[in-house]
Amino acid sequence: MSAGNPTSLAEVATPALLLDRDRLEANIRRMEMRATQLGVELRPHLKTTKSVDVARLAAPSGRITVSTLREAEYFAQHGFRDIFYAVAINPQKLGRVGALLAQGVRLLISLDDPAVAAQVAQAGRALGLVFPVMIEIDSGEERSGVDAASPDLLAIVDALRSGAQVAGVFTHGGHSYLGRSIEEHQAVAEQERVAVTTAAARLRAHGCGNDLIVSLGSTPTVNHARNLTGVTEARPGVYMVYDLFQWDVGACGPDDLALSVLTSVIGQHPSRSQLVIDAGAIALSKDLGTHGPEDHAVPAYGLIADAQTGQLIADLHVHTVYQEHGIVRSQRPIDFSAFPVGRQLRVYMNHACLTAAAFDQFHVVQADNPEIALWDRVNGW
Ligand SMILES: Cc1ncc(COP(=O)(O)O)c(C=O)c1O
C-alpha cells in the first residue's frame, strides 16, 4: 500500500470505483461453502473484477477463469499458472496463447467448431506445442457451444488428436439470468449439469481418458444448484461483488452489493425535481435494470446510497445518463437541503462487469480501516 493512499472518501476524486472489502470477503466465503457442499472445485471467473488482489482472495488454489487474453497475460505475470480463457479462441491469437504455454502457464483455450479445432492442432504442431482445449457445450443459452449430442463434438475431438489435447468440456447457463425464482435457477443448473456430463461421457467413450475437466457455472446456477454429480468444477464470477441485476434475479440481497461508484452532486434543480451527479453513461454504463424487485421497481441506471454507510437512500435512483452527467430522481419529494453540490453519494450499478470496465482501479474501503487501498484492474483485450 503506497504512502499516498487516501484516508477518507472526501479525498477521492469522483467518479471512482468503490469496493467494499468486507462484503467482497463475505461473498467469497459463501461461494466457497457452496462449492464444498456441491463437491466441486471453484475456478472463479475474474471477468468482473479483473484484479490480482481480488484473485488472490477468491482463488487461493490459483485456478482461475478469464474472458480476455489480456487478463490471461496479466494474471500470468502475477504468478497464476492454471488459467482458463473461456471465450472461443480466435486462431489469430494462438501465438499469444503459445507464448504463455511456453512460459509454463497451463492456459486452457476454448472452441466449439471442428474447423477451428483443426487450425489449433495445426498451429500446435507448427509451434511444437500442445494446446489444451476445453470444448464448449450449449446448455440452453444458445450463445455459443455445440449440443452435447451433436456429431460435431466427436469431430472436434478427432481434429484435436495432435498439436492439441482435449482437457475437458464446459458450459455457461447464462439463460439463468432470465429466471426469477430459485426453482428456475435450479432447473438451469440441472440443464448445465446434464449437458456437460453427457458430453464428457461421450468423450470418454471416444477415448479421451477419465481425467477430463467437467466445468459449468453462472452465479445464479451455482448459488442454487441442488446437485452437481459428475461435475468437477464451477466457474461463477459476479458473485464476488454482485450487482442490481443479480439482486433482481434473486442471486443476492442488497447487503451483498460490494461494488459501487462514488460520485458527487454537481447540480441541484428543485424546479425539475432532480439532482445532477458526475457519474453518467461512461461511469455507470447504459445497461438498464430489468424488472426489479418491488423496492426498486423503477427502471434506472443505478440506485443511490449514502457514501459513508453504503445504505440505500429510499427511492433515489439514476433516472437518465448522459456521457458524464447522471440525473437523479425520486418517486418522493427530494429534500434538496440534504444534497448540496459537493455531497458524495454511492451508486449501485445494474451490471458490475460493464461498469467496472470503465475504471483502472478499485478504491477499497473496509470497516475499521481508515486507509483506502488502491487495487489495480486490467482492461482491454
Ligand atoms: C463462460 C462463462 N463462464 C462463467 C461465467 C460467470 O457467470 P456469472 O457472471 O453469472 O458469475 C460467465 C459469465 O458471463 C461466462 O461467460
What are the average pLDDT values for consecutive 10-residue runs of the chain, which has 381 residues? 76 98 98 98 98 98 98 98 98 98 98 98 97 97 96 97 95 91 94 98 95 97 97 98 92 96 98 97 87 55 96 93 97 95 97 97 94 97 97
Tell whether ligand 1 has an atom less than 6 A from the beta carbon of residue 238: yes
Tell whether ligand 1 has an atom less than 6 A from the beta carbon of residue 237: yes
Q: Are 374 and 365 in contact (CB under 8 A)?
A: no
| Ligand 1 atom closest to Cα of residue 86 | 1
Task: Please give the pLDDT value at position 3.
Answer: 53
SS3 49: coil
Measure Cα distances from 320 to 238, 298, 317, 339 in Å: 25, 12, 9, 18
Give CA–CA dist 276/321, Å, rounded: 10
Alpha-carbon torsion 289, 292, 296, 299, what sign? Answer: positive
| Ligand 1 atom closest to Cα of residue 143 | 16
Measure Cα distances from 268 to 153, 307, 311, 339 in Å: 59, 18, 22, 8
Measure Cα distances from 374 to 22, 101, 278, 362 in Å: 15, 31, 21, 6
Task: Please give the pLDDT value at position 2.
Answer: 46
Tell whether ligand 1 has an atom less than 6 A from the beta carbon of residue 219: yes
Q: Are 142 and 185 in contact (CB under 8 A)?
A: no
| Ligand 1 atom closest to Cα of residue 170 | 1
Question: Parallel, antiparallel, or unpaired: how do β-strands 233-234 and 259-269 relate?
Answer: unpaired
Residue 342 backbone class (left: φ over 0; alpha: ψ -120 to 50; beta: rest): left
| Ligand 1 atom closest to Cα of residue 236 | 11
Give CA–CA dist 219/345, Å, rounded: 28
Question: What radius of gyration, in Å, describes the C-alpha atoms of the chain?
Answer: 22
Q: Are 197 and 233 in contact (CB under 8 A)?
A: no
Q: How many CA atoms lie within 13 A of 24 on its CB side?
A: 22
- The CA 67 to ligand 1 mean position distance, Å, reads 9
Measure Cα distances from 350 to 125, 130, 260, 302 in Å: 45, 41, 10, 6
Which residue stretches of 143-251 are H helix?
A: 151-159, 182-205, 219-224, 244-248
Tell whether ligand 1 has an atom less than 6 A from the beta carbon of residue 218: yes
Tell whether ligand 1 has an atom less than 6 A from the beta carbon of residue 217: yes
Task: Please give the pLDDT value at position 4.
Answer: 75
Tell me the longest C-alpha to C-alpha distance in the chain.
72
Query: H-helix or E-strand containing 119?
Result: helix 114-127
Listed residue (375, 125, 137) closest to 240, CA to CA: 375
In this structure, which amino acid lies at residue 149?
Answer: A
Contacts of 284 (CB under 8 A, 6+ apart): 261, 301, 302, 318, 321, 326, 347, 349, 350, 355
Burial of 127 (0-12, 13-18, 19+ CB in 10 A): middle
- The CA 274 to ligand 1 mean position distance, Å, reads 36
Task: Please give the pLDDT value at position 179.
Answer: 87
pTM of the model: 0.95
Q: Whose CA is nearest to atom 2 of ligand 1?
A: 172
Tell whether ligand 1 has an atom less than 6 A from the beta carbon of residue 188: no
Tell whether ligand 1 has an atom less than 6 A from the beta carbon of residue 224: no
Tell whether ligand 1 has an atom less than 6 A from the beta carbon of residue 179: no
Tell whether ligand 1 has an atom less than 6 A from the beta carbon of residue 45: yes
Q: Whose CA is nearest to atom 3 of ligand 1?
A: 172
Residue 27 backbone class (left: φ over 0; alpha: ψ -120 to 50; beta: rest): alpha
Tell whether ligand 1 has an atom less than 6 A from the beta carbon of residue 175: no
Burial 242-279 (b: 16+ CB within 10 A, else e): bbbbbbbbbbbebebbbbbbbbbbbebeeeeebbbbbb
- The CA 183 to ligand 1 mean position distance, Å, reads 20
Residue where the block lists cell 488459467: 83
- The CA 296 to ligand 1 mean position distance, Å, reads 25
Tell whether ligand 1 has an atom less than 6 A from the beta carbon of residue 144: no
| The three grid cell numbers given for residue 320, joined into one nine-digit string | 437518465
- The CA 177 to ligand 1 mean position distance, Å, reads 11
